[in-house]
Structure 1
Amino acid sequence: MSKLTIPEGMSEKEYYETLADESAFLAWYKSQDLPKYETPSVTADMVAYCFAEGRIRLLVIKRRAHPYQNKYALVGGFVDRQEDAYQACIREVKEEVGLTIPLEKVEQLLTVSTPGRDPRGWVITIAHLVYLPAQVMDQAAAGDDAKQVMFLDVDFKTATFRDGSRVLTEDDFAFDHYQILLESIKRIQGRLDWNPTFLHLLEQPFTVYEGTELVNLISPRRPIVSNNFLVKFGHYLEEAGVKRVPKKKPRKVYRLKGDPHGQER
């Protein structure tokens, strides 16, 4: 092998970064430069809400193992090498609670890289909002890291989470999941008018009355009446037929534009 000749006044690093071909640079980088950097682990955590029986519920697990054994935690886990964070979300929901969710019901919330946030080491998490259908309350089953699967009641007006009659505090949650939950409420409320992705919580298709009920549970402002729902959100929706209600006139139903799951009923 011929000896490497580096132009005078240029460092080896500069040579490989600017003059060598890319394959030579990558070989040098992996053997010389990469070992200087500590590699973090990456997790995907999900703030998974559903809207059932007129209440907003949050899917959580009770942790079966250390760290934070028996604490409430968001559904989540480590991102595998061959997947992105969205795929990790879908996989983890399937593994931990036995549910399959479509990609359009997942949106990135924030990345948390606070040093020391995980006692196991350097772990960065990419938190996501996940909108689940109401029937998940009958389908969810504990698995993997979950000792128990449960649904907490969420009050968006007071930013509180309840397990039955007990209001939970930051100390009840694993890692920094309580702070992530508070950020999720701020995100949904802050984008209420201009990016209402929370409408994915509604069973598709839905009536104006169902949409109004959900908005009034989330909005920090004064309640809206059903007549105003289409004024505020109509440009995100399309008609999807009618819903027949016993002893009442059929009601128009709507779905989010582009939603493949909204069918007439």
Structure 2
Amino acid sequence: MRTPDAPPIPTRPVAVDITTFRLVEGRLHILLVQRKYPPFQGQWVLPGGFVGSDETVSAAATREMVEETGFDIRHLHLEQMKVYSEPKRDPRGPIISISFLAVVPSDDPKADHLQADTDAADAQWFDIEDLPNLGFDHDKIATAGIGRLLRRVLEDPLTRRIIPPPLLRSRIDDLARGGAVARHFQRRMQRIMEETIEPTQDLACHMAPRTDDSLDLNPKTQSIESGVEDPSDSKERLGRLYELMAADSKPAERPHPLAMLLPKTFTLPELRQFFELMLDETIDRGNFRRRISELISFGALADLRETRSEGRGRPAELYRLDSKQLRRFLDSGEKK
């Protein structure tokens, strides 16, 4: 008896796109490349490209970053974010994209020496409030990236110990509604809105980080949160593909947001300005100093007994984050 042939396995190309953030002179920047070839030739997009048949999606993200920008991110924390599978998201065909979040310390010397290559004509850091219009669906992916980064900072246990609870709760609620992300893109989005949508429409609804065509990968469980059906006929096989993609990055202890963004040594004014940027709120200097005094006493913020001149005032003392002491400090707070 002849065994029927197994049905062919459907295939869809898989790509990666990386949202890479860095503080430059106290402002949050994202790394973009200018496309050398169609589609979107000459337009700015996120670094990324297709996944090879013999590599993981994380390896593809690292390789594409080096090829397109000359920036090796193997020493950085790389975190999977979402799967974008809307069939018409790419004019070349129904290409699935897995997005990543990477965060670069502000004093990383490699980040200042970008070298565009392969299909990228240029590579630059852009202030997130002054971005060009991005090709593909990369506006949406960049929005999700800044939302993920803000959530990392606002929901961090250290932030809860430093920032007054009412202010922090209001900002977390605002982030859930999309308002915090919208404000970080405000100048740029206002320009886009004037060109493309009615001025009476609400900005936050256009900046909502959650979309029906994307699947959010929870970094703690590496599972798929969204229940949105994929439009492909082979839903079951694509579901397995998503699971494999999510399992590609093994769960690991994430670096602290401060360690990912701030330089190795920093002043207390720089630390306060970091939280002001993330919260989009001015923080009283005296209250801030009182709240972090316990961190300094515990050794979680190590006083280096060194200073750095900042303007006309007296030199500011330098500190660094002691990760081991910070964990002990946060553990001691949870046990109280």
Give the TM-score normalised by the residue count of structure 1. 0.70
Q: After TM superposition, give the deviation of residue 256 of structure 1 in Å.
A: 4.4
Q: After TM superposition, give the deviation of residue 97 of structure 1 in Å.
A: 1.0
2:320 aligned partner: 253
Q: Which moved more, 1:97-106 or 1:55-64?
A: 97-106
Q: After TM superposition, give the deviation of residue 32 of structure 1 in Å.
A: 1.2
Paired AA for residue 201 in structure 1: L
* TM-aligned CA distance change 1:123 to 1:133, over 3 Å: same
Structure 2 distance, partners of 1:125, 1:219, is 30
State whether residues 13 and 50 of structure 2, in contact with CA within 8 Å, keep that contact through their aligned partners in structure 1: yes
Q: After TM superposition, give the deviation of residue 179 of structure 1 in Å.
A: 0.9
1:209 aligned partner: 269
1:149 aligned partner: 123
Q: 1:244 aligns with which of 307, 311, 321?
A: 307
Q: Counterpart of 1:174 in 2: which secondary structure?
A: coil
Structure 2 distance, partners of 1:102, 1:228, is 38
Give the TM-score normalised by the residue count of structure 2. 0.56
Structure 2 distance, partners of 1:65, 1:154, is 24
State whether residues 95 and 143 of structure 1, in contact with CA within 8 Å, keep that contact through their aligned partners in structure 2: yes
Q: Which moved more, 1:186-195 or 1:49-58?
A: 186-195
CA RMSD of aligned residues (A): 3.2
Q: Counterpart of 2:275 in 1: which secondary structure?
A: helix
Structure 2 distance, partners of 1:84, 1:188, is 23
Structure 1 distance, partners of 2:142, 2:273, is 22
How many residue pairs end up in the alignment?
217
* TM-aligned CA distance change 1:239 to 1:74, over 3 Å: same
Q: Which runs of 5+ in 1 are unaligned?
A: 5-11, 14-30, 156-160, 163-167, 260-265
Structure 1 distance, partners of 2:294, 2:66, is 35
* TM-aligned CA distance change 1:174 to 1:245, over 3 Å: same
Q: After TM superposition, give the deviation of residue 110 of structure 1 in Å.
A: 1.4
State whether residues 238 and 257 of structure 1, in contact with CA within 8 Å, keep that contact through their aligned partners in structure 2: no
Structure 1 distance, partners of 2:21, 2:144, is 14
Greater share of residues in helix: 2
Q: 1:140 aligns with which of 109, 114, 125?
A: 114
Structure (1 or 2) with the larger CA radius of gyration = 1
Paired AA for residue 77 in structure 1: G
Q: Counterpart of 1:32 in 2: which secondary structure?
A: coil
* TM-aligned CA distance change 1:63 to 1:118, over 3 Å: same
Greater share of residues in strand: 1
